[in-house]
Chain A
Amino acid sequence: MKYVFIIAGVMIVVLTIAAGLIYVERRLLALFQDRRGPNRVGPFGVFQVVADMIKIFFKEDWVPPFADKAVFIMAPGILITSIFLTFAVIPFTDKFLVLDSNIGLLFFLGNSSLGVYSVVLGGWASNNKYSLLGAIRASAQMLTYEVFMGLSLVGVVMMADSFSLREIVEVQKNGWFVFPQFLGFMTFFIAGIAETHRAPFDIPEADGELVAGYHSEYSGMKFGMFFVGEYMGVTMISALITTLFFGGWLGPAFLPPAFWFFFKTGIFICLFILIRASLPRPRYDQLMEAGWKVLLPLVLLNILATGAILLLKHTT
């Protein structure tokens, strides 16, 4: 029974954050861009999301006649599911987590690889050339960043001597991993942006080129799932960065641990939005080049250095 509550609690928290993020992002972008953003529905426009949600729920659930229906419907579901599953292993505090798995980190990496299926299948099933190009780009992009995403975390695992996210946080009582693992943090952050298809790595949807990329044909709530999925992804990556590099829920005791967790996560979410507001989009072959030629060697170097230092410490 306790599990049901925790699972329900996590889902509600995540969905609320993701929905709230839509509002936060629009207001923040407006702030960065010298305009006002949504400010009409409710105080400061906070109910804009509610209004949008009502609208999107009542939209016609349309599937294009030329699409592969079953796959077309399944695709957004895969995205949401894979992200929700990842949240199962993220420790909000030492007590508030669904699953303290000893392979937590691997579970996340596995799920993030599943996430790309939704994009590829969605783009493929749409039976639209723009969607197809988006899907192809997504898979090319995934091949690139998945490699160094996993490797960028190896240093953390080596230092914590565990795959359990809870234990990784506990180890950080002696100091956040961001300092010894700065390279790992940077590469993971870049991979995280690519993972969530956020600007500037929104190459699979690249609105100026591919109209809306893989979700060109989606409308109504199925589009809504892709849309919310993006924000859930942002939350997930931010939560993971907090957990892996910034000591998770750890923080001065005058405020509850949950606060510290959400506070740190919030900062990274804002960073995501700021990056979206500022950078142009590279071409996807340029992204791949950067991934294989720059980031991958860097990550390998990081592993090598971390391993060497740890070994040195052990022997002395």
Chain B
Amino acid sequence: MKPSVFFYNLGQGFKGVARNSVMSTASILVLIACMILVGTFFVVIDTIDRNFNAIDDLNVIEVMMDKDYSESQIIEIGEKLSSICNDSPIIDWSSDQWTDDIVIPKHENFKYVSPDEHFELFKDKYQNQPWLDAFTDEHEGDHDEGTHAGITSSMQDNPLRGSFRITFINLSNFDEVVKVRNRIDSITVTDANGTEHDAIATEDIKDYAELYENVMSIKNALYVAGLWLMVIFLIISLFVIMNTIKLGVFARRNEITFMRLCGATKSFIRMPFIVEGVIIGTISAAISFGIEFYLYEYLLKGIVQSATGTSGVAAITAGDFWSDYAILVGIGFLAIGLFAGIVSSSISLKKYLKA
């Protein structure tokens, strides 16, 4: 394309936008609404993702042991659990880390936490709480310091129970976690009479499978809703831009007829209107980008900070969505804008460009 033709078409495109200023503004507003909606949905989905992944112990299944279980019963359960874990592709289970002299396998992804250790963890977690002193004074009297009485509690009054902690290395396939969990549910243990019965009650298996599934279903619902809203708003945007450009085409129909009969090519006739669509799309993308940045940087982060401040728990985090995705958001918005502009202007002109 010759520079003179390019600049002529560019100028005509800007004139078209200015000539139809009211409709152009309407098109820009609808397109902005579409982009903001899409952008916000994806920010929310990303925030859910980030926060879910940040939950402590998300990748841990904790199997609580009954207080009445003997050491041999716990060992029996531990062996069955380790066998299940050994079959799972999502537990890093290197056999060379097993040691023969320890009955219960000790492994960073599979370990037994005794009631004493639970108590220590409990104390660590609530060490600044004033009520802890009274509690520990009451219970530590029976604690035989410096020794660990095997895998059962050394404190007779310790109300906590021992547990097996299974850590998954890969959470991308949460279905596999659910499979492991269901197999754990069916483990049996042999009692003093030599009969087997269910070892672990369902409520004694603590994991995040249910939470994970709930959050995932919310996330998926948001994702689907976001996509549908994007499609609907995009169609509405296309109609509004099409009407805007159709008004311009109608106002210039004599020019277009004359251009055709003079020997102007279809692309030459089409170009100013496509430029008009592109201008509308680009302006919408730029404004949407600014608004989305503001919404994210000030509104979402503000909400997160105030939520964190009032609860005292770092429940949710805004993450670094913007720094990670700013370019992607910009390109995405521009693509939506250009798509809407080019498609709608091409459709609007079709009728006037017959041979």
A binds B: no
Where the two chains meet, the residues of A that have a C-beta atom closer than 8 Å to any C-beta of B are none
Where the two chains meet, the residues of B that have a C-beta atom closer than 8 Å to any C-beta of A are none
